[in-house]
């Protein structure tokens, strides 16, 4: 890695120049008592430890984990001009697309007839994760192992293609596998069949929090002893005409770039891809000599119960505080947060307010970045790709940057690791996901 592409920070702060500097005073005075009650979280007594022993991904930055992490270190941008049918009819024509995607390079004809693009991405990521873990799910292990995946749109490409066939081309017949191809649980079902996972297997659909909810539930299953191994993560493939056209209607999309936390930010940019992790019972992993990349130590979720699209700092703060309580961590233990950081005006300032209240004086010493600036917003799959950046921070001591940052925003007065990756040793991290519908999910990891 080139030294010019990574700034060396002192502890959890680091960076230089006005854009990188954390505020000289805390964003808010620390409250005398908790600002809000944390979200309910399961106690830790007598519960099993949970190890991450495998990781896999496909996204605009890379088609595997090493390439993706290298791209994050080098602050590359995977956002570009969209390429698909009727893109000229869209007002938003940029996205973080997996370029030159050819399913025939990975799957046979029968598989392609059954796999929507979101399932294709999932299968490749899952195979990478399982191969890295070294696990085989024959016999008893398959009976106590499962898969939970998040997606918001599921087989949206299949919907889009078949709407064209019926409504535009006027045909009266569609492929007999349309329903099993587009259903949201297709990816989880195919993963369970591929590896012989006969334990819990299902899909979570909670918009932009889908992956974090899926991974959090998988963590709880392993921690409680309900499963020995869980594959967890998420996938999304919304970059088609109908998918982007629907998002255009919300008027939250940028037409030129994703600039989280920058004063001149003007919206989110969609991405596509998948991320899958192997969550394994710690004793099982150590007994077989597995490499452990990080420990999953906490999870909490909350609901704003307020608005279908506008975020709430109070709801987000409850999930952040709850994840720390669940993990047995203090605010001062957290060195880095992978932010939800969509690049919209409302989301970024609300998230910064939530972090400031949850961390008090320590917010001044946190690093917080949005990797959506590089790989785009994968909606239901975004949390899974973003957890890779959290593992990189813990394992490699590299903090992924927020690229596209141009102008400081007084309402986002935190250290957002602008534009250049940073070296820093951190002991524990959080990954935030805050979804439409007021659904919040936060995961805590610890270094091993």
Catalytic residues: 208, 340, 377
CA 406 to chain centre: 24
Rounded Cα distance between 73 and 60, Å, is 15
Rounded Cα distance between 56 and 195, Å, is 15
Q: Of the candidates 40, 28, 41, which has an alpha carbon nearest to the alpha carbon of residue 359?
A: 28
Rounded Cα distance between 431 and 211, Å, is 11
CA atoms within 13 A on the CB side of 181: 22
- The sign of the dihedral angle between the CA atoms of 107, 113, 115, 118 is positive
- The conformational region for residue 437 under phi > 0 = left, psi -120 to 50 = alpha, else beta, is left
CA distances from 76 to 275, 336, 360, 378, 419 (A): 18, 20, 32, 17, 10
Would you state the structure tokens that stand for residue 18, as one six-digit string?
């006005």
Q: Write down the residue that tokens 């297709």 correspond to.
A: 186
Rounded Cα distance between 402 and 420, Å, is 8
CA distances from 197 to 91, 284, 331, 370, 379 (A): 43, 17, 37, 33, 26
CA distances from 249 to 91, 244, 408 (A): 10, 9, 28
Residues 6+ apart with CB under 8 A from 165: 171, 174
Would you state the structure tokens that stand for residue 219, as one six-digit string?
């963590």
Question: Helix, strand, or coil here: 275?
Answer: strand
- The conformational region for residue 97 under phi > 0 = left, psi -120 to 50 = alpha, else beta, is beta
Rounded Cα distance between 447 and 336, Å, is 12
CA distances from 18 to 12, 409, 413 (A): 17, 12, 11
- Are 4 and 419 within 8 A, CB to CB? no
10 Å Cβ neighbour count for 333?
16
Q: Write down the residue that tokens 């502890």 correspond to.
A: 11
């Amino acid at each position: 890695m080139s030294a010019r592409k990574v700034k060396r920070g002192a502890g959890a702060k680091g960076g230089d120049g006005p854009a990188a500097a954390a505020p000289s005073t805390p964003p808010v005075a620390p409250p005398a008592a908790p600002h809000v009650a944390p979200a309910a979280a399961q106690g830790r007594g007598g519960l099993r430890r949970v190890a991450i022993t495998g990781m896999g991904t496909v996204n605009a930055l890379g088609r595997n984990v090493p390439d993706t992490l290298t791209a994050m270190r080098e602050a590359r941008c995977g956002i570009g001009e969209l390429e698909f049918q009727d893109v000229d009819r869209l007002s938003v024509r940029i996205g973080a697309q997996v370029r030159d995607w050819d399913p025939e390079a990975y799957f046979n004809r029968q598989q392609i007839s059954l796999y929507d693009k979101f399932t294709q991405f999932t299968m490749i990521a899952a195979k990478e994760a399982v191969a890295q873990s070294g696990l085989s799910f024959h016999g008893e292990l398959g009976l106590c192992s499962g898969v939970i995946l998040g997606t918001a749109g599921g087989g949206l490409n299949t919907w889009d293609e078949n709407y064209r066939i019926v409504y535009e081309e006027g045909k009266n017949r569609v492929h007999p596998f349309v329903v099993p191809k587009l259903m949201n649980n297709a990816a989880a079902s195919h993963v369970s069949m591929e590896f012989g996972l006969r334990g819990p297997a299902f899909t979570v659909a909670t918009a932009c929090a889908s992956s974090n909810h899926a991974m959090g539930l998988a963590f709880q299953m392993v921690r409680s002893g309900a499963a020995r191994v869980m594959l967890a993560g998420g996938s999304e493939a919304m970059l088609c005409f109908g998918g982007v056209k629907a998002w255009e209607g919300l008027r939250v999309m940028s037409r030129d770039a994703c600039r989280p936390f920058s004063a001149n930010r003007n919206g989110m940019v969609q991405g596509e891809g998948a991320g899958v992790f192997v969550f394994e019972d710690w004793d099982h992993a150590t007994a077989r000599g597995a490499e452990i990349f990080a420990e999953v130590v906490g999870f909490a979720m909350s609901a704003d119960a307020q608005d279908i699209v506008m975020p709430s700092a109070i709801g987000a703060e409850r999930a952040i505080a709850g994840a720390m309580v669940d993990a047995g961590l203090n605010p001062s233990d957290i060195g880095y947060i992978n932010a939800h950081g969509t690049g919209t005006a409302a989301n970024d300032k609300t998230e910064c307010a939530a972090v400031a209240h949850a961390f008090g004086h320590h917010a001044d010493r946190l690093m917080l970045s949005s990797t959506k600036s590089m790989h785009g917003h994968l909606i239901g799959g975004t949390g899974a790709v973003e957890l890779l950046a959290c593992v990189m921070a813990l394992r490699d001591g590299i903090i992924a940057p927020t690229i596209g940052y141009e102008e400081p925003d007084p309402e986002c007065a935190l250290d957002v690791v602008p534009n250049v990756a940073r070296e820093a040793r951190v002991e524990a991290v959080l990954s935030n996901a805050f979804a439409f519908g007021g659904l919040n999910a936060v995961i805590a990891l610890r270094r091993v």
